[in-house]
Structure 1
Amino acid sequence: MGITHIRLPKNFDLDERLERYAGAIERDAGAYKGRWAEACCPLAVDGGGALRRYGSVHLDLGCGKGAFVVACAERDPEGLYIGMDAEPVCIAYAAQTVAERDLPNAVIVPLGADALARVFAEGELAGITLNFPTPHPKRHHARKRLVHVDRLLAYRPLLAPGATVTLRTDSQPLWEYAKGQFDAAGYRALWTSADVGREHPGFPETEYERRLTARGAAVYGICAALAPAPSPDRVQAGRDAEQSLMAYLPDDLFSLDYVPLGMEAAVENFRNRERKGKARIPGAAG
């Protein structure tokens, strides 16, 4: 979730916030690689006097203000929930939420997706959630997307048997694009949904999500598990796929009740061309 969606209160002191809630932030995350379940806030001592490790480790990649990771941690006290985000304001808010809820099984890591391989070991994650990631609609920004085929390939070795990667987004074009990228990276879709809230109601709702749905946004989703590793040709097909999200907009732009973030200007431009009887320019604004 992008910083542009966070309204800061008056007199917000970022450094003070980060210091105040430093106990919920893990700045040396690489030190836990391969042992998050046993080294990060172990569960209570059992009857035999031995510390019990967490049963699973879950990652909320791009955790925003932390509402999702906190809700998951509260629901599942025997799982460890890690929220990662590279934006300092998001880190401050997420750490505050974790600290105020006094959750031993939630921690915030101030890093982005490029750091995953040095933070987690092979097979360490039971699941990765991608909640409303920045769509990066333009073609030349495609590799920044958390669902680009190369990103999805990078997640593969970190996933435990039976683990899932779940995308939720308000962007129908990103969702349509992601279907092909998951397939190219060797994932098997367990479900896809154009209305996650109705069809899969178990997901905690974030503040960002509530604001979007109040404006008329639908929540689209994909939940996928590992399939056999893809062939090089299959991976290349994902890289060669149309990378501009403008190409994944519906044909009838006037049917859109909600325009995804970052695509407002392009949609209005296309609508104006249609009003004048002109064809949509292939790849325009991409």
Structure 2
Amino acid sequence: MRVRNKPWANDYITDHPHIVIQEPKSFKGKWKEVFGNDHPIHIEVGTGKGQFIAGMAKQNPEVNYIGIELFESVLVNALQKAADDHIPNLKLLNVDAADLTEIFDQKEISRVYLNFSDPWPKKRHEKRRLTYKTFLAKYEEILVKGGEIHFKTDNQGLFEYSLKSLAEYGLKLIYVSLDLHNSDFEDNIMTEYEEKFSGMGQKIYRLEAKCMNK
């Protein structure tokens, strides 16, 4: 993904510490205190411009959401949505997904969303895919027993890889759609990429998997 530099991004993020949490590792095991309630916490790894997670947070006020995005110049788009709409159950983190287990404690998260992740199609880049086994181990560590991973993509190769990777890891597949927008799935919140690709007639693939290894 080509990221357009926004020189003002850092200052804008710094000016909104109530939304973009600074020094998130200091809150490991204390995220319910950040939100001030005992609601379940769902995270999106690779939030992008934030349309999905902002929509989910507004649709489900009984759930707390945390969006994770590495690139500041992308994260500010999600931040603007959160700030403009005053969404109290949404926080954002400007961190790397590789640091998840340093930010969240064991069994602190109820669900992980992976939406339109970089497919890293070359075999030598397999370890960078967010459904590679080392990432699955991180999700498993922070998820409650029975916690879920929800995954969407337009990339058939990545979807097939992810189905195999999750199954081999021992996660239980509980939902698989090979054409989400022509399925009976309800209340789907689309990402910006999803709107773009589905508008071009591309199929959207989706799966849900449950973590039972605890």
TM-score normalized with structure 1 length: 0.70
Structure 2, unaligned runs of 5 or more = none
Deviation at 1:174, TM superposition (A): 0.4
Alignment partners' CA distance in 2, 1:152 and 1:107:
23
2:198 to 196, 213, 228: 213
1:119 to 103, 126, 130: 103
Alignment partners' CA distance in 1, 2:128 and 2:9:
26
Tell which deviates more after alignment, 59-68 or 11-20: 11-20
Deviation at 1:86, TM superposition (A): 0.4
1:40 to 24, 34, 38: 34
Paired residue for 1:170? 154
In the alignment of these two chains, the number of paired residues is 213
Deviations 1:226-276 (A, max 9, x none): 2347xxxxxxxxxxxxxxxxxxxxxxxxxxxxxxxxxxxxxxxxxxxxxxx
Deviation at 1:210, TM superposition (A): 0.6
The higher radius of gyration belongs to 1
Deviations 1:86-126 (A, max 9, x none): 01112111111111111111010001211100110111111
Deviation at 1:211, TM superposition (A): 1.0
1:155 to 126, 136, 139: 139
Paired residue for 2:210? 225
1:21–1:96: 8 Å Cα contact kept in structure 2? Answer: no
RMSD: 1.8
Structure with the larger RCO, 1 or 2 (CA within 8 Å, 6+ apart): 2
Paired residue for 2:47? 63
User: Which letter maps to 2:34?
Assistant: C
- Percent identity of the aligned residues? 25
2:173 matches 1:189:
yes
2:199 matches 1:204:
no
Q: SS of the residue aligned with 1:40?
A: helix
1:134 to 111, 118, 122: 118
Deviation at 1:7, TM superposition (A): 6.7
1:62–1:112: 8 Å Cα contact kept in structure 2? Answer: no
Paired residue for 1:146? 130
